Amino acid sequence: MSSTKGYLNMELLRFTTAGSVDDGKSTLIGRLLYDSKAIFEDQLVLLEETSQRRGEEGINLALLTDGLRAEREQGITIDVAYRYFATPKRKFIIADTPGHIQYTRNMVTGASTANLAILLVDARHGVVEQTCRHAFLASLLQIPHIVVCINKMDLVEYKEDTYNKIKENFKAFSSKLEIPDIHFVPLSALHGDNVVDRSTNMNWYEGSTLLHLLENVHIGSDHNHIDCRFPVQYVVRPQSKEYPDYRGYAGRVAGGVFKTGDEVMVLPSGFTSKIKSIDTMDGSVAEAFAPMSICMTLEDEIDISRGNMIVRKNNSPIADQDLDLMVCWMNEKKMILRGKYSIKHTSKDARCIIKEVKYKMNINNLHRIEDDKEVGLNDIARISIRTTTPLFFDKYRRNRNTGSIILIDEATNETVAAGMII
């Protein structure tokens, strides 16, 4: 039981992989899982059988993540594949995202919750258009840590010059982006050089292996622990013999630190109260912070329902109906100007109208396209909307949880766009 508890309390790192087609993203994750002993025996047997059937030398580690039949047949990743593994130091959730241009929306989906992005570069080709595209998307989504893995070093004879050249080229491009923390690792996913174990072929490289970086990168400060934000998801009223008068507000802390006895304010009503208790599955706690899921009780009886937000009295979010957004369009059907869509923001549902398309982004050269305002599949555009009811939000760069929205087509109930509030 204690070992289970230890595992549950371990720090969780969510990371995503990105890169051009055939850069070896799926092979790298397969190698990571294989060398860190995170594959079950029956999976290993199935891998060996599939690889033999396809007439391949050794085990094809890419098959671990490419689960769709179409992916296996084509040897490419289409959907976002999530894989879970743990080492004695940390738990991990990997989002393996596709490299093809037409799957940009899938890349945005996988990267939206990530703490870190692994950006793969083929050592033979260096920094290509798709590398720049994914680096820009990672910067747009405010992923704080990027590890540039220069893969297939075995095909360039493990030359230091090749590594240095690619490193300089990427640094020159990334200087235009907002990425606070960049690391570079030369590796060979196929042979396992610098993935889990240090490479003997690259004695000139003195940095960390990829796994060492993943285990030790500091993510504690990635969450906003300054602005207290608690969107209410559900009102808990057991009305049992044990709890006849219990009224708790359940949800996930989106920012800041809440302590029992703190004075808080409820939005939109503006009523104030003090925190009576903070309850979790393991019992009551003295304080709660992002990203904990809790149930909060207040000293006063206040009318609170789903979609309301509990904040600190003197530190309120922005409350507005007019929003400026950067959106990634995810639907085959083009955006309709002046069209009406449903909007989801934290736990609040509303409706909105698209007022204006200001410009589209050319994600290859970071230029603005101001003469073409037609937003279609995989396009990234800056738009302004007006909602039916005020939303309580922070800018995306300040808080990813309260600064993001999704747009939904009311007729089909499909998610048509993911947006970041500017």
Which of 305, 290, 311 lies closest to 393 in space, CA to CA? 311
Does residue 6 have a pLDDT over 90?
Answer: no
Look at strands 257-259 and 248-252 and give their pairing: unpaired
The domains spanning 2-216 and 229-312 adopt the same CATH topology: no
Is the pLDDT score of 55 beyond 50? Answer: yes
For 116, the token pair is 């870190």
Q: How confident is the model at residue 318 (pLDDT cuts 50, 70, 90)?
A: very high
Give the pLDDT score at 68.
38
What is the CATH topology of the domain spanning 2-216?
Rossmann fold (3.40.50)
Rounded CA separation 363/347 (Å): 31
Residue at token pair 């009305």: 239
CATH, range 229-312: 2.40.30.10
The rounded distance, in Å, linking the Cα atoms of 298 and 277 is: 7
Q: How confident is the model at residue 103 (pLDDT cuts 50, 70, 90)?
A: low
| pLDDT of res. 72 | 41
Residues 6+ apart with CB under 8 A from 51: 58, 59, 60, 63
Q: Where are the beta strands (DSSP E) in 206-339?
A: 229-231, 234-236, 248-252, 257-259, 263-267, 272-280, 283-285, 287-289, 293-298, 309-312, 318-329
Q: Could you tell me the pTM of the whole model? A: 0.85
Cα dist. 13→196, 294, 301, 325 in Å? 17, 21, 38, 27
Architecture of domain 318-421: Beta Barrel (2.40)
Q: What is the pLDDT of residues 160-191, one digit of tens each?
A: 999 999 999 999 989 888 888 999 999 999 89
Average pLDDT estimate for 241-268:
95
Q: pLDDT of 270-297, one tens digit each?
A: 999 999 999 999 899 999 999 899 999 9
- State the pairing for strand pair 116-122/145-151: parallel
Distance CA 52, CA 68 (A): 19
110 and 95 Cβ atoms separated by less than 8 Å = yes
Confidence of residue 78 (pLDDT cuts 50, 70, 90): very low
Task: Spell out the domain ranges in the chain.
Answer: 2-216, 229-312, 318-421
- Choose the weakest-confidence range: 90-104, 266-280, 281-295, 331-345: 90-104
